[in-house]
Structure 1
Amino acid sequence: MSRTEKEPQASCCSSHAEPEFNVKSTSSCCSEEDASTTSTCYGSDTNTKEDQTATTSSSCSTGESKDKQVEPVDRESKETKTLEFKIHGMDCPSCAATIEKALLKTEGIQSVRVNYGTGKMAVSANDRSVYDLVPDQVHKLGFKAEPLVKNTNMQTYKIEGMDCGSCAMTIEKHLSKNPTIQEVHVNFSTGKMQIDHSTNQNEIIKEVQRAGFDASLDSQRQGTANQKKKWISTTTISGIFLALGFIGSFTSVTPGFITALYAVAILIGGFKPAKSAFYAIKSGSLDMNVLMSSAAIGAALIGEWFEGATVVWLFALGNTLQNRSIERTRESIRSLINLTPSEATIKSGDQLIRKPVEEVEVNAIIVIKPGEKIPLDGEILSGTSSINQAPITGESLPVDKQRGDTVYAGTVNESGSLEVKVTKLVEDTTIAKIIHLVEEAQEKKAPTQAFVDRFANVYTPIVFSLALLVMVVPPLFGFGSWGEWVYKGLALLVVACPCALVISTPVAIVSAIGNAAKNGVLIKGGTFLEKAGAIQAIAFDKTGTLTEGKPNVAEVISLYNNREELIGITRTIEEHSTHPIAKAITIYAEERKISAKKGEDFKAIAGKGAQATINGIEYFAGKPKLFKDMEVPLKEIEERMESLQRDGNTLIVVGTRTEVLGLIAVADSIRDITVQSIQKLKQVGMGEMVMLTGDNDGTAKKIVAETGIDRYFAELLPEDKVIAVKKLQDEGKSVAMVGDGINDAPALATADLGIAMGGAGTDTAMETADIVLMADNLEKLPHTIRLSRRAMNIIKQNVWFSLITKVAALALIFPGFLTLWMAVLSDTGAALLVILNSMRLLRQK
């Protein structure tokens, strides 16, 4: 639900047009669904070469809902197809117009529609090859375009055995050489592979195994994992032979037998990394398997069998521990899937039938008993209950729900029995979207991670080349024996592996994003996690963010000391209106058990108020302007009215055509959690907190005084909020904007970081912002800032620790202090410590 503070043409939307309480729409004639986008209010219409008005019937019809199919008009060709793009970098509605005009000049494009509010663009063309030109054309204009249509042929596989990003690269390069594979993406952070192929599943699994890793279709992962637990690992067997050889060296066993034990340990423990190394070299990658295999083989060739066996075993042990630790961070998101039950109880006539959630259709009636988890998103038809929404929103207290309220899959019904009408299929539920968005976020590289990866790509071949030079050059010039320098070169090879450095960032980001998701916060990628940690100022929208977004009666003034009579007359007039102010007055009367009178001839007076006839007398309730237009004197209450308006109240005057009976003051109340959240943000060291509002200066001052906000900008239109954010940025601050994700879209896009509230209730909020607070309050914002700052500190710790470990190892090689097995231990140990340090983010409360 959108909330606006200023509504330019409110007169045709409701009988009361006070700006701060319009809870429905962003434009005077737009419906609530239209309000999900803001293109209509900024004039971003569809342009077509033949007819620019073909797809719009009025100025408000351009706002498409999220799921609505774009249907471009093309009179030349019936083969016209439409492709949607996500546009990044637009900071004002004129950007949308610029992109539209520029793309319409491209040959083959029939129509272009850019929606500034949602950041989406629909392009229609009669030749699919034209779509390939779109990203480049948009890039030339200073923006970025990403196709929204994903390859429907892509399959998802779980990959096991990856312990750093270079493993993912090896798999990608190996598989991309297979002619039956059209596209492949492997992500180390999530342990997933997306692949488009024309062969069968078993062949894909075999190809991945040839590269030295294990693969299984996403749905089969658990079964294969359980099967593997029955077998003794090769690491254990290799370790047993290494231990036997080491013990035998202290006995009278022949040296040849001991060497054989070490050789078996190398063969068993090193087979898998050697196979991976073969395919890595074949595909042009220089990963850790290549480096470790080279070190083990080299050690054996110069007669250091114990060293070679120790290298293999420590490497295998380190990989096993790393894989288990990384898997725990990945499970932090996978565990969200287990929040929803696999079956639902369907009401069919008088019978209750259990069905898998995948088979339940929209509009089916499901029954949820006390203590059960809700299987699908829906709307309550009957019953009342308290729902624990913590898995979705992170709210600490259960929320009371009744008929007409929305419930979400994965939440827990704590008390009463409910009948719920299903509104979304299992794959479209809020929890499913959360899982999808979080997994996408984990796959996006943060700037720090991208830099580290670039560094590692340069560092590894340089040190590898240096190791080869160390092995060859000194003995050629007579500076020691070949065995001595080959050994040092092999140690340098092991140190060349930048495993700890490469995983220093992604594991921390996965852990932080997983923690946030479990606490009702969606962080859409490492970039935004980093930005949140660097934020110096936060700009808050007022209505619906700092305040409830709905009015409450603050004061009733009766001129004839007949308070109940005044409220009864006002309720009679307002009961027939759906305006938020009218609802507030009706609820106020209901709570005090003041009933409505018998009225007739109910009428709405556009933009001014409403009227009704009671006992033959016409009564009016509305703005002061309504009574001024009727020339009813207001002098008796004028001073009181001015005082109430200065304090931020909206006034409803009640009276007849000849006299005023009294007035009712209505105000938006501050959320209980707002003041606590502001205080906590100050405690974590937030530099400045600013309020942006469309209200008058008096109202703004009152809110600022009550909440502890540092500064405010008042009487703003939506486009003025963009100017306010830019002003803060011009002052040298990194600015976050917090709003509802709909009407605040321009300001959210302009800010360095856009934070939307109430993501559980609006798809638009989940799409438009960089960070989404699933609950409709600020409770989790301080946690998000703390988490992001701690994540940045841990990433810095990891990077510096990895670099210092490498420098120390390099320094100790040449004096001969660092043995080969110590080099392996330092590398795998450093990687393991980096992972464990990152996992601390999973446990942050």
Structure 2
Amino acid sequence: MAEAARKSRYRVDGMDCAGCAQKVDTAVRRIPGVEDVAVSVVSGTMTVEHADGAQLDSEIARRVTRLGYRIAPQTTTGPGANGAEACAAPCCSGGGSRDIPDDTIHRGITREARWWQRPAVQLTLASGLAFLVAYGAGWLLPRYEQWFFGLAMLVGLVPIARRAFAAAVTGTPFSIETLMTIAAVGAIFIGAVQEAAAVIFLFLVGELLEGVAADRSRASIRGLADLVPRLARVERKGGIEEIPAERLSVGDVILVRPGDRIAADGEILSGESSVNEAPVTGESIPNSKGPGDPVFAGTVNGNAALRVGVTAAAEDNTIARVIKLVEEAQEKKAPTERFINRFSRYYTPGVVVLAALVACLPPLATGEPWSEWVYKGLAILLIGCPCALVISTPAAIAAALASGARRGLLMKGGAVLEGAGRLQAIAFDKTGTLTEGKPKVTDIIAFDGDQREVLRLASALEQGSSHPLAAAILERAAQEGIAIPEATRSAAVGGKGVTGTVEGRPLFLGSVNAAGERQALSKEQSRSLATFNDEGKTVSVLLVGEKALGAIAMRDEPREDARSGLANLEAQGIRALMLTGDNRRTAEAIAGSLNIEARAELLPEDKSRIVGELKAGGLKVGKVGDGINDAPALAAADIGIAMGGGTDVALETADAAILHGRVSDVAAMVELSRRTMGNIRQNITIAIGLKVLFFFTTILGITGLWPAILADTGATVLVTANAMRLLGWKPRSWPKSPSARPSAHGAAQTGRRTPG
């Protein structure tokens, strides 16, 4: 009977670039029984779908180890699952069913090794020391200088040659190790042994520097996992027990002391405190939280103890989801990266052919000295090493995706990152995207008496209501410190308003039309209220007995940064428009305040159709919405961007997500994309430019093996260092659009209301 397929996850140490991942993928994919392989350079992991069986596990480990990498099985237990503490190797777990030889589970993979304990560092130091010893011994015994340098070269060449052979027999014959081995062995035959030893050492230095850069990129992701504390204080059997945070389950109750990081996503059961959410959302001002409010793993409790009910296991909390999305995104290749990878498959064999032609044609055709042209051919082999070119794109994309994630900008892959910078038009939803999504009191007018009295009595009627307009009135009363009296005999009047008695006076609070049915309003009062309606505001009129005491106007306010965010997009040459299902008057009021084109009274299919029309007009179109009712338009756009605070919908429905809910972050995402593509162009120019330069200087006899390897190593280091600059990216402050005009506020729905 056929064995059932299963997935195994491994940690693979030593992978520095896309070329490393390709070698591992090719080698493991060729093993009989393996169905699929996914290698992540970013997280240093490999997921293999294969038939069950300990022998297959052992073969996977042997293949990867022969390529020069360290491998260990791994479990996924939480946001730090890509770290060393998640290792499930037999040597760590006290045994296991998988029969993987101990020599394939290298020391240092199960815990963070010190820098001098890493194999790459040790090999580089050994090669460098051997080179220095050979130099000193050759100075003392010149007759044996070539032998000394030959032995020094072998210190580094033997491991490189072994890796080259392993890669060749597992499907990657034209690896960087193969080119190095051919060049070094060829140098021996033409008597350039000293240069060959130096070349091997410099190559190892270059690989070491690549590893440092890759580690830095991975550290940016591990830094997110480190936000979650290792231990959590859980209520168990009437007491408090400390357990690892990854063992928390949904329904557990944890105690979070003042100053502690919260160990899981959850809901506050008791306690009130300020919570600093900057580690997750980037907001510098702590938020006041109380019973019923959600909290996120990694945020910091403020000044009081909280009891929190866990709502998500460790592998499903906000931090874990963000890490998973970033890792997946970094493995989704951008169009430019896919092109470079396809190009490199033909480029490396082409370099070998070109080097052979340079070495053979001049001596055969014109009788030139063989030693001179073989030397030049070997130098061209080194110049043509594709490392710098292959890493130019993925290094920049990985750094940009990590940098964006730390600032709440999640993009699902290199294609999305590349496409965001090409957007020419962006369509925004209104409610909850350009606006806060909840009404606020904007105006209080008193026809008789003062405004505080109008607010005080209206608040008395609205106490206990969950209606959004009631919440806006109560919030304003709380802001002004008004003592709210008790209302009796309160009752809702369906579709019109609410009635009640406050301090012995009969009150009614409702829509303009409903109030007019009870008591005719004066022309002046009607004109004032009509002005508010024209501005897209919802108006509630307060009647005391048969007299209109005043009115309260409310609306869904634009987000604080909406105007500046849209101005930033305009400064980048991007057309912005608003697509909303709200009524035309409200939409035009919002649009006028934000200086944005508006299309109103749209159904979801209408929004999708308009996005399609924009695309048909030759524009690259983005759509920003909440990820639920805008789903058709998000799917229809070239880039769909969900605006939200880390909800499942916001993270999973669109191509990208803005966790902070800031309009200005849309412009920041476009800027990051354009900065990244500029960085990639710089990297490709560096990689190809140096190779072309040294190709001609080598042919002319100006440079040789040493400068050739310095050109390759130098290009790789420059490209990697340039890409790593994106880790420090910060959104720039764009000048405000000169055409942006201030006006009245945004809008909420108008018309009659039904109190809660």
TM range (shorter): 0.7 to 0.9
The alpha-carbon deviation at position 309 of structure 1 amounts to: 1.5
Could you tell me which runs of 5 or more consecutive residues in structure 1 were left unpaired when the two chains were aligned.
1-150
The aligned residue for residue 73 of structure 1 is none
Alpha-carbon distance in structure 2 between the residues aligned to 1:393 and 1:202: 43
Q: Residues 440 and 604 of structure 1: is their aligned pair in 2 closer, same or farther, counting only changes over 3 Å?
A: farther
Alpha-carbon distance in structure 1 between the residues aligned to 2:246 and 2:69: 32
The alpha-carbon deviation at position 334 of structure 1 amounts to: 1.5
The aligned residue for residue 253 of structure 1 is 142
* 1:516-527 → structure 2 map (5 Å cutoff): 516-527=404-415
Of 6, 22, 28, 1:175 maps to: 28
The aligned residue for residue 764 of structure 1 is 649
Q: Residues 306 and 649 of structure 1: is their aligned pair in 2 closer, same or farther, counting only changes over 3 Å?
A: same
The alpha-carbon deviation at position 189 of structure 1 amounts to: 4.2
* 1:403-552 → structure 2 map (5 Å cutoff): 403-552=291-440
* 1:113-152 → structure 2 map (5 Å cutoff): none
Q: Is the 8 A contact 2:268 2:308 kept in 1?
A: yes
Could you say what secondary structure the match of 2:206 adopts?
helix
Q: Residues 810 and 659 of structure 1: is their aligned pair in 2 closer, same or farther, counting only changes over 3 Å?
A: same
The alpha-carbon deviation at position 339 of structure 1 amounts to: 1.0
* 1:756-795 → structure 2 map (5 Å cutoff): 756-760=642-646, 762-795=647-680
The aligned residue for residue 736 of structure 2 is none
Alpha-carbon distance in structure 1 between the residues aligned to 2:137 and 2:503: 111
Question: 2:135 aligned with 1:280, yes or no?
Answer: no
Question: 2:125 aligned with 1:236, yes or no?
Answer: yes
Alpha-carbon distance in structure 2 between the residues aligned to 1:335 and 1:576: 44
Question: 2:68 aligned with 1:212, yes or no?
Answer: yes
The alpha-carbon deviation at position 799 of structure 1 amounts to: 0.7
Alpha-carbon distance in structure 1 between the residues aligned to 2:124 and 2:453: 86
Q: Is the 8 A contact 1:620 1:656 kept in 2?
A: yes
The aligned residue for residue 199 of structure 1 is 54
* 1:395-794 → structure 2 map (5 Å cutoff): 395-557=283-445, 559=447, 561=449, 570-571=458-459, 573-589=461-477, 591=480, 593=482, 595-600=484-489, 602-603=491-492, 605=494, 607-611=495-499, 621-626=509-514, 633=520, 636=523, 637-655=525-543, 662-682=550-570, 685-707=572-594, 709-760=595-646, 762-794=647-679
The aligned residue for residue 144 of structure 1 is none
The alpha-carbon deviation at position 562 of structure 1 amounts to: 7.8
Q: Residues 562 and 315 of structure 1: is their aligned pair in 2 closer, same or farther, counting only changes over 3 Å?
A: closer
The alpha-carbon deviation at position 551 of structure 1 amounts to: 1.0
Alpha-carbon distance in structure 2 between the residues aligned to 1:163 and 1:836: 14
Could you say what secondary structure the match of 1:400 adopts?
strand
Partner letter of residue 15 of structure 2?
Answer: M
Could you tell me which runs of 5 or more consecutive residues in structure 2 were left unpaired when the two chains were aligned.
74-81, 88-107, 731-756
Alpha-carbon distance in structure 1 between the residues aligned to 2:303 and 2:611: 45
Of 728, 743, 749, 1:843 maps to: 728
TM superposition score normalised by structure 1: 0.75
Which shifted more, 549-558 or 317-326? 549-558
The aligned residue for residue 74 of structure 1 is none
Partner letter of residue 787 of structure 1?
Answer: L
Q: Residues 586 and 554 of structure 1: is their aligned pair in 2 closer, same or farther, counting only changes over 3 Å?
A: same
Q: Residues 361 and 603 of structure 1: is their aligned pair in 2 closer, same or farther, counting only changes over 3 Å?
A: same
Of 800, 821, 826, 2:685 maps to: 800
Alpha-carbon distance in structure 2 between the residues aligned to 1:174 and 1:425: 35
Q: Residues 160 and 566 of structure 1: is their aligned pair in 2 closer, same or farther, counting only changes over 3 Å?
A: closer
Q: Is the 8 A contact 1:512 1:791 kept in 2?
A: yes
Which shifted more, 773-782 or 458-467? 773-782
Question: 2:160 aligned with 1:307, yes or no?
Answer: no
The alpha-carbon deviation at position 597 of structure 1 amounts to: 4.7
Could you say what secondary structure the match of 1:354 adopts?
strand
Which shifted more, 506-515 or 567-576? 567-576
Could you say what secondary structure the match of 1:534 adopts?
coil
Question: 2:153 aligned with 1:266, yes or no?
Answer: yes
Question: 2:708 aligned with 1:819, yes or no?
Answer: no
Cα deviation, 1:751-792, whole Å, max 9, x if unaligned, reads 3222222232x2101111222111233353443333222111
* 1:6-85 → structure 2 map (5 Å cutoff): none
Cα deviation, 1:334-381, whole Å, max 9, x if unaligned, reads 221111111111134652221111232222221111211111111112
The alpha-carbon deviation at position 650 of structure 1 amounts to: 0.9
Alpha-carbon distance in structure 2 between the residues aligned to 1:213 and 1:568: 72
Q: Residues 550 and 479 of structure 1: is their aligned pair in 2 closer, same or farther, counting only changes over 3 Å?
A: same
The aligned residue for residue 113 of structure 2 is 226
Q: Is the 8 A contact 1:189 1:507 kept in 2?
A: no
Alpha-carbon distance in structure 2 between the residues aligned to 1:228 and 1:840: 23
The alpha-carbon deviation at position 410 of structure 1 amounts to: 0.8
Partner letter of residue 289 of structure 2?
Answer: K
The alpha-carbon deviation at position 544 of structure 1 amounts to: 1.7
Instruction: Report how many aligned residue pairs link the two structures.
Output: 688
Could you say what secondary structure the match of 2:68 adopts?
coil
Q: Is the 8 A contact 1:167 1:287 kept in 2?
A: no
Q: Residues 408 and 288 of structure 1: is their aligned pair in 2 closer, same or farther, counting only changes over 3 Å?
A: same
Could you say what secondary structure the match of 2:561 adopts?
helix
Q: Residues 501 and 734 of structure 1: is their aligned pair in 2 closer, same or farther, counting only changes over 3 Å?
A: same
Alpha-carbon distance in structure 1 between the residues aligned to 2:483 and 2:284: 36
Which shifted more, 376-385 or 789-798? 376-385
Q: Residues 155 and 215 of structure 1: is their aligned pair in 2 closer, same or farther, counting only changes over 3 Å?
A: same
Cα deviation, 1:108-137, whole Å, max 9, x if unaligned, reads xxxxxxxxxxxxxxxxxxxxxxxxxxxxxx
The alpha-carbon deviation at position 535 of structure 1 amounts to: 2.5
Alpha-carbon distance in structure 2 between the residues aligned to 1:611 and 1:737: 43
Q: Residues 601 and 236 of structure 1: is their aligned pair in 2 closer, same or farther, counting only changes over 3 Å?
A: closer
Q: Residues 621 and 458 of structure 1: is their aligned pair in 2 closer, same or farther, counting only changes over 3 Å?
A: same
Alpha-carbon distance in structure 1 between the residues aligned to 2:207 and 2:669: 32
TM superposition score normalised by structure 2: 0.84
Q: Is the 8 A contact 2:17 2:214 kept in 1?
A: no
Cα deviation, 1:169-214, whole Å, max 9, x if unaligned, reads 2222222232253432223344321123433666533321112222
Q: Residues 224 and 578 of structure 1: is their aligned pair in 2 closer, same or farther, counting only changes over 3 Å?
A: closer
Alpha-carbon distance in structure 2 between the residues aligned to 1:204 and 1:445: 25
Cα deviation, 1:276-298, whole Å, max 9, x if unaligned, reads 21122213321111111111111
Q: Is the 8 A contact 2:18 2:394 kept in 1?
A: no
Alpha-carbon distance in structure 2 between the residues aligned to 1:519 and 1:437: 14
Alpha-carbon distance in structure 1 between the residues aligned to 2:447 and 2:429: 37
The alpha-carbon deviation at position 621 of structure 1 amounts to: 4.0
Could you say what secondary structure the match of 1:746 adopts?
helix
The alpha-carbon deviation at position 589 of structure 1 amounts to: 4.5
The alpha-carbon deviation at position 258 of structure 1 amounts to: 2.0
Of 3, 6, 13, 1:160 maps to: 13
Alpha-carbon distance in structure 1 between the residues aligned to 2:112 and 2:310: 34
Which shifted more, 257-266 or 337-346? 257-266
